[in-house]
A and B are shown apart, each in its own frame.
Chain A
Protein backbone atom coordinates (compact mmCIF):
# COMPACT_ATOMS: atom_id res chain seq x y z
CA UNK A 1 0.00 0.00 0.00
CA UNK A 2 1.34 3.45 -0.89
CA UNK A 3 0.99 6.44 1.46
CA UNK A 4 -1.80 7.79 -0.74
CA UNK A 5 -3.67 4.47 -0.65
CA UNK A 6 -3.39 4.41 3.13
CA UNK A 7 -4.70 7.95 3.44
CA UNK A 8 -7.54 7.20 1.05
CA UNK A 9 -8.52 4.14 3.09
CA UNK A 10 -8.44 6.06 6.38
CA UNK A 11 -10.56 8.84 4.90
CA UNK A 12 -13.21 6.62 3.33
CA UNK A 13 -13.40 3.23 5.04
CA UNK A 14 -15.27 2.88 8.37
CA UNK A 15 -12.99 2.24 11.34
CA UNK A 16 -14.65 -1.11 12.07
CA UNK A 17 -13.87 -2.43 8.61
CA UNK A 18 -10.24 -1.45 8.87
CA UNK A 19 -9.96 -3.19 12.25
CA UNK A 20 -11.69 -6.29 10.89
CA UNK A 21 -9.24 -6.44 8.03
CA UNK A 22 -6.16 -5.61 10.14
CA UNK A 23 -6.81 -6.67 13.76
CA UNK A 24 -3.51 -5.15 14.91
CA UNK A 25 -5.19 -1.73 14.45
CA UNK A 26 -7.32 -2.33 17.53
CA UNK A 27 -4.14 -1.71 19.52
CA UNK A 28 -3.80 1.76 18.07
CA UNK A 29 -7.13 2.78 19.58
CA UNK A 30 -6.63 0.87 22.83
CA UNK A 31 -3.29 2.63 23.35
CA UNK A 32 -5.07 5.98 23.11
CA UNK A 33 -7.91 4.85 25.37
CA UNK A 34 -10.48 5.25 22.57
CA UNK A 35 -11.12 1.53 22.06
CA UNK A 36 -14.87 2.19 21.99
CA UNK A 37 -14.62 4.47 19.00
CA UNK A 38 -17.68 4.51 16.72
CA UNK A 39 -16.95 1.77 14.21
CA UNK A 40 -19.51 2.50 11.55
CA UNK A 41 -17.86 5.74 10.46
CA UNK A 42 -14.57 6.70 8.84
CA UNK A 43 -11.98 7.86 11.35
CA UNK A 44 -12.42 11.63 11.10
CA UNK A 45 -16.17 11.40 11.66
CA UNK A 46 -15.80 8.79 14.39
CA UNK A 47 -13.33 11.03 16.19
CA UNK A 48 -15.91 13.83 16.32
CA UNK A 49 -17.80 11.64 18.79
CA UNK A 50 -14.84 11.07 21.09
CA UNK A 51 -13.95 13.20 24.06
CA UNK A 52 -11.31 15.76 22.97
CA UNK A 53 -10.12 15.89 26.58
CA UNK A 54 -8.88 12.26 26.40
CA UNK A 55 -7.10 12.98 23.15
CA UNK A 56 -5.44 16.06 24.55
CA UNK A 57 -4.02 14.05 27.43
CA UNK A 58 -1.98 12.25 24.81
CA UNK A 59 -0.93 15.53 23.24
CA UNK A 60 -3.08 14.85 20.19
CA UNK A 61 -6.00 16.38 18.37
CA UNK A 62 -8.21 14.78 15.72
CA UNK A 63 -5.95 15.75 12.84
CA UNK A 64 -2.87 14.42 14.59
CA UNK A 65 -4.62 11.12 15.29
CA UNK A 66 -5.58 10.71 11.67
CA UNK A 67 -1.97 11.35 10.64
CA UNK A 68 -0.65 8.94 13.25
CA UNK A 69 -3.10 6.25 12.23
CA UNK A 70 -1.78 6.51 8.68
CA UNK A 71 1.79 6.14 9.98
CA UNK A 72 0.70 3.16 12.05
CA UNK A 73 -0.89 1.48 9.06
CA UNK A 74 2.16 2.14 6.93
CA UNK A 75 4.45 0.54 9.49
CA UNK A 76 2.35 -2.45 10.49
CA UNK A 77 0.23 -3.18 7.48
CA UNK A 78 2.02 -1.60 4.58
CA UNK A 79 5.40 -3.02 3.93
CA UNK A 80 7.90 -3.77 6.62
CA UNK A 81 6.10 -6.65 8.39
CA UNK A 82 6.52 -9.69 6.13
CA UNK A 83 9.84 -11.41 5.76
CA UNK A 84 13.09 -10.77 7.59
CA UNK A 85 16.17 -9.34 5.92
CA UNK A 86 17.14 -11.30 2.82
CA UNK A 87 20.74 -12.32 3.20
CA UNK A 88 22.58 -15.32 1.83
CA UNK A 89 25.69 -15.28 3.97
CA UNK A 90 27.74 -13.50 6.58
CA UNK A 91 31.50 -12.93 6.58
CA UNK A 92 33.69 -12.42 9.62
CA UNK A 93 36.94 -10.57 8.98
CA UNK A 94 39.40 -10.99 11.82
CA UNK A 95 40.60 -8.10 13.96
CA UNK A 96 42.93 -8.83 16.85
CA UNK A 97 43.13 -10.84 20.06
CA UNK A 98 43.37 -9.53 23.62
CA UNK A 99 47.11 -8.95 23.34
CA UNK A 100 46.74 -7.14 20.03
CA UNK A 101 47.98 -10.04 17.89
CA UNK A 102 46.23 -10.11 14.48
CA UNK A 103 43.53 -12.72 13.86
CA UNK A 104 44.27 -13.21 10.18
CA UNK A 105 41.03 -14.84 9.28
CA UNK A 106 38.16 -14.36 6.91
CA UNK A 107 35.32 -16.81 7.11
CA UNK A 108 32.00 -16.84 5.27
CA UNK A 109 28.98 -18.74 6.55
CA UNK A 110 25.88 -19.33 4.42
CA UNK A 111 22.23 -19.93 5.25
CA UNK A 112 21.49 -23.39 6.61
CA UNK A 113 25.01 -23.72 8.01
CA UNK A 114 25.83 -24.29 11.64
CA UNK A 115 29.01 -23.02 13.26
CA UNK A 116 30.11 -23.85 16.76
CA UNK A 117 32.42 -21.60 18.74
CA UNK A 118 34.71 -23.35 21.19
CA UNK A 119 37.36 -22.16 23.62
CA UNK A 120 38.10 -21.90 27.33
CA UNK A 121 35.82 -19.86 29.60
CA UNK A 122 36.68 -16.18 29.27
CA UNK A 123 38.47 -16.67 25.97
CA UNK A 124 36.10 -14.40 24.04
CA UNK A 125 33.35 -16.63 22.66
CA UNK A 126 30.56 -14.32 23.79
CA UNK A 127 32.48 -11.34 22.43
CA UNK A 128 32.42 -12.91 18.98
CA UNK A 129 28.66 -13.37 19.25
CA UNK A 130 28.39 -9.73 20.32
CA UNK A 131 30.44 -8.62 17.28
CA UNK A 132 28.07 -10.51 15.02
CA UNK A 133 25.01 -9.09 16.73
CA UNK A 134 26.10 -5.47 16.39
CA UNK A 135 27.53 -6.03 12.90
CA UNK A 136 30.94 -4.84 14.04
CA UNK A 137 32.67 -2.47 11.69
CA UNK A 138 36.19 -2.34 13.16
CA UNK A 139 34.59 -0.33 15.96
CA UNK A 140 34.43 -2.90 18.77
CA UNK A 141 37.30 -3.89 21.11
CA UNK A 142 38.27 -6.77 18.78
CA UNK A 143 38.49 -4.64 15.63
CA UNK A 144 36.52 -7.25 13.72
CA UNK A 145 34.41 -6.50 10.70
CA UNK A 146 31.21 -8.26 9.69
CA UNK A 147 30.04 -8.27 6.08
CA UNK A 148 26.67 -9.36 4.73
CA UNK A 149 26.70 -11.02 1.34
CA UNK A 150 30.30 -9.90 1.03
CA UNK A 151 29.38 -6.23 1.39
CA UNK A 152 30.46 -3.73 3.99
CA UNK A 153 27.47 -1.98 5.56
CA UNK A 154 27.09 1.73 6.10
CA UNK A 155 25.79 2.98 9.46
CA UNK A 156 22.33 3.56 8.14
CA UNK A 157 21.98 -0.05 6.99
CA UNK A 158 23.48 -1.40 10.21
CA UNK A 159 20.97 0.53 12.26
CA UNK A 160 18.14 -0.54 10.03
CA UNK A 161 19.12 -4.19 10.47
CA UNK A 162 19.71 -4.05 14.20
CA UNK A 163 17.23 -6.20 16.04
CA UNK A 164 15.98 -7.80 12.81
CA UNK A 165 19.00 -9.76 11.65
CA UNK A 166 19.79 -11.73 14.75
CA UNK A 167 17.73 -13.79 17.18
CA UNK A 168 19.45 -14.74 20.42
CA UNK A 169 19.17 -17.58 22.84
CA UNK A 170 21.21 -17.95 25.97
CA UNK A 171 21.30 -19.68 29.30
CA UNK A 172 20.58 -16.34 31.01
CA UNK A 173 17.36 -15.71 29.17
CA UNK A 174 14.07 -16.21 30.95
CA UNK A 175 10.42 -15.71 30.31
CA UNK A 176 9.41 -12.81 32.51
CA UNK A 177 5.82 -12.54 31.42
CA UNK A 178 3.23 -14.61 33.26
CA UNK A 179 1.04 -16.05 30.50
CA UNK A 180 0.00 -19.52 29.42
CA UNK A 181 2.04 -21.09 26.62
CA UNK A 182 -0.94 -20.68 24.30
CA UNK A 183 -1.52 -16.99 25.08
CA UNK A 184 2.18 -16.31 24.78
CA UNK A 185 2.56 -17.97 21.39
CA UNK A 186 -0.56 -16.20 20.17
CA UNK A 187 0.76 -12.88 21.36
CA UNK A 188 4.03 -13.40 19.52
CA UNK A 189 2.29 -14.62 16.39
CA UNK A 190 -0.07 -11.65 16.62
CA UNK A 191 2.83 -9.26 16.23
CA UNK A 192 3.26 -10.68 12.71
CA UNK A 193 0.10 -10.26 10.79
CA UNK A 194 1.50 -12.14 7.82
CA UNK A 195 1.40 -15.58 9.42
CA UNK A 196 -1.40 -18.00 10.12
CA UNK A 197 -1.70 -17.78 13.89
CA UNK A 198 -3.47 -21.07 14.69
CA UNK A 199 -1.20 -23.13 12.50
CA UNK A 200 2.03 -21.50 13.70
CA UNK A 201 1.08 -21.79 17.37
CA UNK A 202 0.30 -25.47 16.90
CA UNK A 203 3.59 -26.17 15.11
CA UNK A 204 5.63 -24.34 17.75
CA UNK A 205 3.90 -26.16 20.53
CA UNK A 206 4.28 -29.64 19.05
CA UNK A 207 7.89 -29.01 18.15
CA UNK A 208 8.78 -27.58 21.59
CA UNK A 209 7.28 -30.66 23.21
CA UNK A 210 9.32 -32.99 21.06
CA UNK A 211 12.51 -31.11 22.01
CA UNK A 212 11.78 -31.01 25.73
CA UNK A 213 12.34 -34.11 27.78
CA UNK A 214 9.16 -33.66 29.80
CA UNK A 215 5.85 -32.80 28.20
CA UNK A 216 3.90 -29.61 28.92
CA UNK A 217 0.48 -28.42 27.77
CA UNK A 218 -0.80 -25.27 26.10
CA UNK A 219 -2.33 -24.28 29.44
CA UNK A 220 0.97 -24.45 31.32
CA UNK A 221 2.10 -21.02 32.47
CA UNK A 222 5.47 -19.85 31.16
CA UNK A 223 6.66 -19.19 34.67
CA UNK A 224 6.02 -22.81 35.59
CA UNK A 225 8.05 -24.32 32.75
CA UNK A 226 11.26 -26.09 33.73
CA UNK A 227 14.58 -24.82 32.40
CA UNK A 228 14.54 -27.43 29.64
CA UNK A 229 10.94 -26.75 28.68
CA UNK A 230 11.60 -22.99 28.50
CA UNK A 231 14.63 -23.53 26.31
CA UNK A 232 12.71 -25.91 24.05
CA UNK A 233 9.89 -23.41 23.67
CA UNK A 234 12.33 -20.58 22.94
CA UNK A 235 14.02 -22.66 20.23
CA UNK A 236 10.75 -23.71 18.59
CA UNK A 237 9.50 -20.13 18.76
CA UNK A 238 12.70 -18.86 17.12
CA UNK A 239 12.47 -21.51 14.42
CA UNK A 240 8.85 -20.88 13.45
CA UNK A 241 8.18 -17.29 14.34
CA UNK A 242 11.36 -15.31 14.15
CA UNK A 243 12.17 -13.88 10.75
CA UNK A 244 15.80 -13.24 11.71
CA UNK A 245 18.14 -15.17 9.40
CA UNK A 246 20.85 -15.52 12.03
CA UNK A 247 20.52 -17.29 15.39
CA UNK A 248 23.12 -16.83 18.12
CA UNK A 249 23.14 -19.46 20.84
CA UNK A 250 25.19 -18.95 23.96
CA UNK A 251 25.59 -22.05 26.14
CA UNK A 252 22.45 -24.11 26.29
CA UNK A 253 24.19 -27.38 27.21
CA UNK A 254 22.59 -28.09 30.56
CA UNK A 255 19.12 -27.37 29.37
CA UNK A 256 17.89 -30.97 29.28
CA UNK A 257 16.60 -30.85 25.74
CA UNK A 258 17.36 -32.76 22.57
CA UNK A 259 20.19 -30.47 21.53
CA UNK A 260 21.04 -32.04 18.21
CA UNK A 261 17.46 -32.02 17.09
CA UNK A 262 17.19 -28.39 18.20
CA UNK A 263 20.14 -27.28 16.09
CA UNK A 264 18.99 -29.34 13.12
CA UNK A 265 15.58 -27.74 13.38
CA UNK A 266 17.03 -24.23 13.21
CA UNK A 267 19.37 -25.10 10.34
CA UNK A 268 16.50 -26.70 8.45
CA UNK A 269 14.62 -23.41 8.70
CA UNK A 270 17.42 -21.98 6.57
CA UNK A 271 19.04 -20.06 9.41
CA UNK A 272 22.70 -19.39 10.02
CA UNK A 273 23.30 -20.81 13.48
CA UNK A 274 26.22 -19.85 15.73
CA UNK A 275 26.57 -21.86 18.94
CA UNK A 276 29.05 -20.94 21.61
CA UNK A 277 29.50 -24.17 23.53
CA UNK A 278 31.51 -26.54 25.72
CA UNK A 279 29.26 -29.44 24.78
CA UNK A 280 30.90 -32.06 22.51
CA UNK A 281 27.55 -32.92 20.94
CA UNK A 282 26.91 -29.37 19.89
CA UNK A 283 30.52 -28.64 18.95
CA UNK A 284 30.73 -31.66 16.65
CA UNK A 285 27.15 -31.44 15.45
CA UNK A 286 28.04 -28.19 13.65
CA UNK A 287 29.39 -28.06 10.11
CA UNK A 288 32.46 -26.13 11.23
CA UNK A 289 33.89 -24.83 14.46
CA UNK A 290 35.77 -21.67 15.30
CA UNK A 291 38.49 -22.02 17.92
CA UNK A 292 38.85 -19.03 20.21
CA UNK A 293 42.03 -18.40 22.19
CA UNK A 294 42.90 -15.34 24.17
CA UNK A 295 40.23 -13.19 22.57
CA UNK A 296 40.98 -14.13 18.98
CA UNK A 297 39.91 -16.74 16.42
CA UNK A 298 42.90 -19.07 16.31
CA UNK A 299 41.55 -21.68 13.91
CA UNK A 300 38.64 -22.97 11.86
CA UNK A 301 38.02 -26.71 11.71
CA UNK A 302 35.59 -28.41 9.35
CA UNK A 303 33.92 -31.32 11.13
CA UNK A 304 35.47 -34.40 9.52
CA UNK A 305 33.69 -37.60 8.57
CA UNK A 306 35.56 -39.33 11.36
CA UNK A 307 34.37 -36.77 13.89
CA UNK A 308 30.82 -37.11 12.62
CA UNK A 309 31.03 -40.86 13.03
CA UNK A 310 32.09 -40.30 16.66
CA UNK A 311 28.89 -38.38 17.30
CA UNK A 312 26.82 -41.54 17.61
CA UNK A 313 29.17 -42.87 20.28
CA UNK A 314 29.18 -39.53 22.11
CA UNK A 315 25.39 -39.51 22.03
CA UNK A 316 25.41 -42.95 23.61
CA UNK A 317 27.72 -41.71 26.39
CA UNK A 318 25.52 -38.67 26.85
CA UNK A 319 22.41 -40.85 27.08
CA UNK A 320 24.13 -43.02 29.67
CA UNK A 321 25.00 -39.97 31.79
CA UNK A 322 21.42 -38.84 31.42
CA UNK A 323 20.20 -42.20 32.74
CA UNK A 324 22.52 -41.97 35.75
CA UNK A 325 21.27 -38.46 36.47
CA UNK A 326 17.70 -39.66 36.23
CA UNK A 327 18.35 -42.57 38.59
CA UNK A 328 19.95 -40.30 41.17
CA UNK A 329 16.99 -37.96 40.93
CA UNK A 330 14.64 -40.84 41.58
CA UNK A 331 16.56 -41.77 44.70
CA UNK A 332 18.08 -44.92 43.22
CA UNK A 333 21.46 -46.46 44.00
CA UNK A 334 24.13 -46.38 41.29
CA UNK A 335 25.82 -49.70 40.63
CA UNK A 336 28.85 -50.60 38.49
CA UNK A 337 26.46 -52.29 36.09
CA UNK A 338 24.71 -49.02 35.45
CA UNK A 339 27.97 -47.60 34.09
CA UNK A 340 28.28 -50.66 31.83
Chain B
Protein backbone atom coordinates (compact mmCIF):
# COMPACT_ATOMS: atom_id res chain seq x y z
CA UNK B 1 0.00 0.00 0.00
CA UNK B 2 1.27 3.46 -0.89
CA UNK B 3 0.86 6.14 1.78
CA UNK B 4 0.41 9.86 1.24
CA UNK B 5 0.08 12.38 4.08
CA UNK B 6 -1.73 15.64 3.39
CA UNK B 7 -1.78 18.58 5.80
CA UNK B 8 -2.84 22.20 5.61
CA UNK B 9 -4.62 25.02 7.41
CA UNK B 10 -8.40 24.75 7.87
CA UNK B 11 -10.41 25.51 4.72
CA UNK B 12 -7.36 25.56 2.47
CA UNK B 13 -8.98 22.95 0.25
CA UNK B 14 -7.40 19.68 1.41
CA UNK B 15 -10.48 17.55 0.84
CA UNK B 16 -11.17 19.06 -2.58
CA UNK B 17 -7.56 18.53 -3.63
CA UNK B 18 -7.58 14.92 -2.41
CA UNK B 19 -10.83 14.21 -4.29
CA UNK B 20 -9.42 15.72 -7.49
CA UNK B 21 -6.18 13.85 -6.93
CA UNK B 22 -8.01 10.52 -6.62
CA UNK B 23 -9.95 11.33 -9.79
CA UNK B 24 -6.75 12.19 -11.67
CA UNK B 25 -5.01 9.04 -10.45
CA UNK B 26 -7.64 7.06 -12.33
CA UNK B 27 -7.99 4.36 -9.70
CA UNK B 28 -11.14 2.58 -8.54
CA UNK B 29 -12.81 4.11 -5.49
CA UNK B 30 -12.35 0.79 -3.71
CA UNK B 31 -8.57 0.96 -4.11
CA UNK B 32 -8.15 4.04 -1.96
CA UNK B 33 -8.96 4.86 1.64
CA UNK B 34 -8.83 8.15 3.49
CA UNK B 35 -8.19 8.80 7.16
CA UNK B 36 -9.26 12.24 8.28
CA UNK B 37 -7.72 13.63 11.46
CA UNK B 38 -9.70 16.53 12.79
CA UNK B 39 -10.33 18.31 16.07
CA UNK B 40 -13.94 18.63 17.03
CA UNK B 41 -16.30 18.23 14.09
CA UNK B 42 -15.96 17.44 10.43
CA UNK B 43 -18.33 17.06 7.54
CA UNK B 44 -15.77 15.99 5.00
CA UNK B 45 -16.52 12.27 5.33
CA UNK B 46 -19.78 12.95 3.48
CA UNK B 47 -17.88 14.21 0.46
CA UNK B 48 -15.73 11.09 0.36
CA UNK B 49 -18.66 8.74 0.92
CA UNK B 50 -20.59 10.45 -1.86
CA UNK B 51 -17.91 9.21 -4.22
CA UNK B 52 -17.79 5.73 -2.76
CA UNK B 53 -14.46 6.29 -1.04
CA UNK B 54 -14.04 4.64 2.35
CA UNK B 55 -13.12 7.11 5.06
CA UNK B 56 -12.39 6.95 8.79
CA UNK B 57 -12.53 10.14 10.85
CA UNK B 58 -10.76 10.65 14.17
CA UNK B 59 -11.23 13.62 16.47
CA UNK B 60 -8.38 14.73 18.69
CA UNK B 61 -10.84 16.49 20.99
CA UNK B 62 -8.94 17.90 23.93
CA UNK B 63 -5.61 16.40 22.88
CA UNK B 64 -2.97 18.09 20.80
CA UNK B 65 -3.86 17.18 17.21
CA UNK B 66 -0.26 16.29 16.36
CA UNK B 67 0.13 13.93 19.30
CA UNK B 68 -3.19 12.44 18.31
CA UNK B 69 -1.98 11.95 14.75
CA UNK B 70 1.25 10.20 15.74
CA UNK B 71 -0.44 7.91 18.20
CA UNK B 72 -3.00 6.78 15.62
CA UNK B 73 -1.17 6.73 12.32
CA UNK B 74 0.14 3.19 12.76
CA UNK B 75 -3.35 1.85 13.36
CA UNK B 76 -4.56 3.83 10.35
CA UNK B 77 -2.02 2.05 8.19
CA UNK B 78 -3.12 -1.31 9.62
CA UNK B 79 -6.72 -0.44 8.77
CA UNK B 80 -5.70 0.39 5.20
CA UNK B 81 -3.73 -2.84 4.85
CA UNK B 82 -6.57 -5.01 6.05
CA UNK B 83 -9.02 -3.19 3.75
CA UNK B 84 -6.74 -4.06 0.84
CA UNK B 85 -6.24 -0.48 -0.39
CA UNK B 86 -3.57 0.33 -2.95
CA UNK B 87 -3.39 3.89 -1.63
CA UNK B 88 -4.01 5.36 1.79
CA UNK B 89 -4.29 9.12 2.13
CA UNK B 90 -4.28 10.85 5.50
CA UNK B 91 -5.68 14.32 5.89
CA UNK B 92 -4.92 16.51 8.89
CA UNK B 93 -5.47 20.14 9.67
CA UNK B 94 -2.49 22.17 10.73
CA UNK B 95 -3.92 24.13 13.56
CA UNK B 96 -1.12 25.95 15.26
CA UNK B 97 1.09 26.68 12.22
CA UNK B 98 3.77 24.63 13.88
CA UNK B 99 2.29 21.22 13.19
CA UNK B 100 4.10 18.98 10.79
CA UNK B 101 2.53 15.55 10.73
CA UNK B 102 5.09 14.32 8.24
CA UNK B 103 7.10 11.16 8.42
CA UNK B 104 10.56 10.58 6.97
CA UNK B 105 10.29 8.61 3.75
CA UNK B 106 6.52 9.10 3.39
CA UNK B 107 5.21 11.52 0.78
CA UNK B 108 4.18 14.76 2.45
CA UNK B 109 1.85 17.22 0.75
CA UNK B 110 0.99 20.63 2.21
CA UNK B 111 -2.10 22.41 0.89
CA UNK B 112 -2.35 26.16 1.27
CA UNK B 113 -4.53 28.69 -0.49
CA UNK B 114 -3.87 32.00 -2.14
CA UNK B 115 -6.54 33.75 -0.09
CA UNK B 116 -4.60 33.09 3.09
CA UNK B 117 -2.60 36.27 2.59
CA UNK B 118 0.63 36.85 0.84
CA UNK B 119 2.89 36.46 3.87
CA UNK B 120 1.19 33.35 5.21
CA UNK B 121 3.76 30.99 3.65
CA UNK B 122 6.41 32.75 5.68
CA UNK B 123 4.50 32.11 8.90
CA UNK B 124 3.35 28.53 8.56
CA UNK B 125 6.55 26.82 9.66
CA UNK B 126 7.42 23.13 9.50
CA UNK B 127 4.11 22.08 7.94
CA UNK B 128 5.16 24.00 4.84
CA UNK B 129 8.88 23.91 5.27
CA UNK B 130 9.13 20.15 5.52
CA UNK B 131 6.67 19.18 2.81
CA UNK B 132 7.80 17.44 -0.38
CA UNK B 133 5.01 19.01 -2.40
CA UNK B 134 3.22 22.27 -1.76
CA UNK B 135 -0.19 22.48 -3.42
CA UNK B 136 -1.55 26.01 -3.86
CA UNK B 137 -5.31 26.38 -4.28
CA UNK B 138 -7.75 29.18 -5.10
CA UNK B 139 -5.35 30.71 -7.62
CA UNK B 140 -8.22 31.43 -9.99
CA UNK B 141 -9.57 34.25 -7.88
CA UNK B 142 -6.48 36.27 -7.05
CA UNK B 143 -4.34 38.33 -9.37
CA UNK B 144 -1.47 36.74 -11.27
CA UNK B 145 0.94 39.04 -9.46
CA UNK B 146 -0.25 37.84 -6.06
CA UNK B 147 0.06 34.23 -7.21
CA UNK B 148 3.64 34.89 -8.24
CA UNK B 149 4.58 36.59 -4.98
CA UNK B 150 2.83 33.85 -3.02
CA UNK B 151 4.86 31.17 -4.85
CA UNK B 152 8.00 33.22 -4.29
CA UNK B 153 7.27 33.32 -0.57
CA UNK B 154 6.76 29.56 -0.51
CA UNK B 155 10.09 28.97 -2.18
CA UNK B 156 11.78 31.21 0.35
CA UNK B 157 10.68 28.90 3.12
CA UNK B 158 10.98 25.60 1.29
CA UNK B 159 13.48 25.75 -1.51
CA UNK B 160 13.27 22.04 -2.28
CA UNK B 161 9.52 21.41 -2.55
CA UNK B 162 7.57 21.11 -5.76
CA UNK B 163 5.01 23.88 -5.88
CA UNK B 164 1.92 22.73 -7.77
CA UNK B 165 -1.13 24.88 -8.47
CA UNK B 166 -4.36 22.94 -8.24
CA UNK B 167 -7.87 24.23 -8.75
CA UNK B 168 -9.98 22.29 -6.27
CA UNK B 169 -13.17 23.01 -8.17
CA UNK B 170 -12.34 22.05 -11.75
CA UNK B 171 -9.31 19.91 -10.98
CA UNK B 172 -6.87 21.91 -13.07
CA UNK B 173 -3.36 20.86 -12.05
CA UNK B 174 -4.45 17.59 -10.41
CA UNK B 175 -2.93 15.52 -13.22
CA UNK B 176 0.53 16.79 -12.40
CA UNK B 177 -0.07 16.17 -8.71
CA UNK B 178 -1.20 12.62 -9.54
CA UNK B 179 2.00 11.87 -11.44
CA UNK B 180 3.88 12.70 -8.25
CA UNK B 181 1.52 10.85 -5.96
CA UNK B 182 2.09 7.69 -8.00
CA UNK B 183 5.66 7.73 -6.68
CA UNK B 184 4.59 7.54 -3.03
CA UNK B 185 6.45 4.87 -1.10
CA UNK B 186 5.03 1.39 -0.71
CA UNK B 187 4.86 0.41 2.92
CA UNK B 188 3.82 -2.54 5.06
CA UNK B 189 4.06 -0.77 8.40
CA UNK B 190 5.20 2.55 9.85
CA UNK B 191 6.84 0.98 12.87
CA UNK B 192 10.21 2.57 13.65
CA UNK B 193 9.87 5.28 11.03
CA UNK B 194 10.35 8.77 12.41
CA UNK B 195 8.50 12.04 12.33
CA UNK B 196 10.24 14.79 10.40
CA UNK B 197 9.74 17.23 13.23
CA UNK B 198 9.01 16.99 16.94
CA UNK B 199 5.42 17.58 18.00
CA UNK B 200 4.93 20.57 20.29
CA UNK B 201 6.16 20.19 23.84
CA UNK B 202 2.78 20.23 25.51
CA UNK B 203 3.40 19.11 29.03
CA UNK B 204 2.09 21.78 31.32
CA UNK B 205 -0.69 22.01 33.83
CA UNK B 206 -3.07 23.42 31.22
CA UNK B 207 -2.61 20.26 29.15
CA UNK B 208 -4.07 18.31 32.01
CA UNK B 209 -7.15 20.40 32.57
CA UNK B 210 -6.02 23.40 34.61
CA UNK B 211 -8.14 26.47 33.79
CA UNK B 212 -7.21 28.99 36.45
CA UNK B 213 -4.96 31.91 35.53
CA UNK B 214 -1.97 32.71 37.72
CA UNK B 215 1.63 31.76 38.43
CA UNK B 216 0.82 29.27 41.15
CA UNK B 217 -1.27 27.18 38.79
CA UNK B 218 1.42 26.90 36.14
CA UNK B 219 3.57 23.78 36.15
CA UNK B 220 5.66 21.95 33.62
CA UNK B 221 7.03 23.36 30.38
CA UNK B 222 6.14 27.03 30.13
CA UNK B 223 7.43 29.80 27.94
CA UNK B 224 7.28 33.44 28.99
CA UNK B 225 6.90 36.43 26.74
CA UNK B 226 9.16 39.35 27.44
CA UNK B 227 7.39 42.72 27.54
CA UNK B 228 9.36 45.91 27.14
CA UNK B 229 9.30 48.35 30.04
CA UNK B 230 6.86 51.16 29.27
Contacts and interface: CB of A to CB of B under 8 A. Distances in A.
Interface in B137-188: 140-149, 151-152, 155-157, 159-160, 162-165, 170, 172-173, 175-176, 179-180
15 contacts: A24-B156, A27-B156, A30-B122, A75-B155, A133-B172, A134-B172, A134-B173, A139-B175, A163-B165, A168-B144, A172-B140, A173-B140, A174-B143, A184-B145, A234-B144
B173 A162 contact: yes
A134 B176 contact: yes
A76 B115 contact: no
Interface stretch (A104-112, A237-245, A294-302): A237-245
Given A31-B156, A162-B165, 18 more contacts: A30-B122, A58-B126, A71-B159, A74-B159, A75-B159, A134-B175, A159-B179, A163-B163, A163-B165, A167-B144, A175-B142, A176-B115, A177-B146, A188-B149, A230-B143, A237-B143, A237-B144, A242-B144
**Chain A binding surface, main DSSP class:** helix
B176 A162 contact: yes
A187 B117 CA distance: 14
Interface in B90-139: 98, 100, 114-115, 117-118, 122, 125-126, 129-130
A130 interface: yes
Report, as a range, how many residues of chain B touch the other chain.
35 or more
A168 B165 CA distance: 13
A237 B114 CA distance: 18
A170 B172 contact: no
Interface residues of A, number: 44
A241 B145 CA distance: 8
A28 to B, nearest CB: 7
B59 interface: no
A159 B172 CA distance: 13
B136 to A, nearest CB: 8
A98 B150 CA distance: 35
Contact of B143 (A31, A163, A173): A173
Contacts of B68: none
Interface of B: 98, 100, 114-115, 117-118, 122, 125-126, 129-130, 140-149, 151-152, 155-157, 159-160, 162-165, 170, 172-173, 175-176, 179-180, 196-198
A261 interface: no
Contacts of B149: 187-188, 191
A216 interface: no
A217 interface: no
A133 B164 CA distance: 12
B176 A175 contact: no
A112 B149 CA distance: 26
A189 to B, nearest CB: 10
B102 to A, nearest CB: 11
B152 A234 contact: no
Contacts of B140: 168, 170, 172-173
Given A134-B172, A139-B175, A242-B148, A174 B126 contact: no
Contacts of A75: 155, 159
A159 B164 contact: yes
Contacts of B155: 75-76
Closest 3 A/B residue pairs (Cβ): A191-B152, A71-B159, A75-B159
Contacts of B114: 176
A176 B146 contact: yes
Nearest to B122: A31
Nearest to A68: B159
Nearest to A60: B129
Contacts of A71: 159-160
A6 to B, nearest CB: 12
A168 B139 CA distance: 10
Interface in A213-234: 230, 234
Nearest to A243: B148
A125 B99 CA distance: 41
Nearest to B223: A53
Interface string A262-295: 0000000000000000000000000000000000
A30 B153 CA distance: 12
Contacts of A30: 122
Interface in A141-157: 155
Interface string A23-40: 010011011000000000
A130 B142 contact: no
A59 B126 CA distance: 8
Nearest to B198: A59
Contact of A238 (B144, B159, B176, B197): B144
Contacts of B160: 71
B164 A173 contact: no
Contact of A174 (B100, B122, B142): B142
A163 B198 contact: no
Nearest to A191: B152
Nearest to B175: A139
A294 B151 CA distance: 35
Contacts of A76: 155-156
Contact of A173 (B117, B141, B156, B157): B141
A24 B117 CA distance: 19
A275 to B, nearest CB: 15
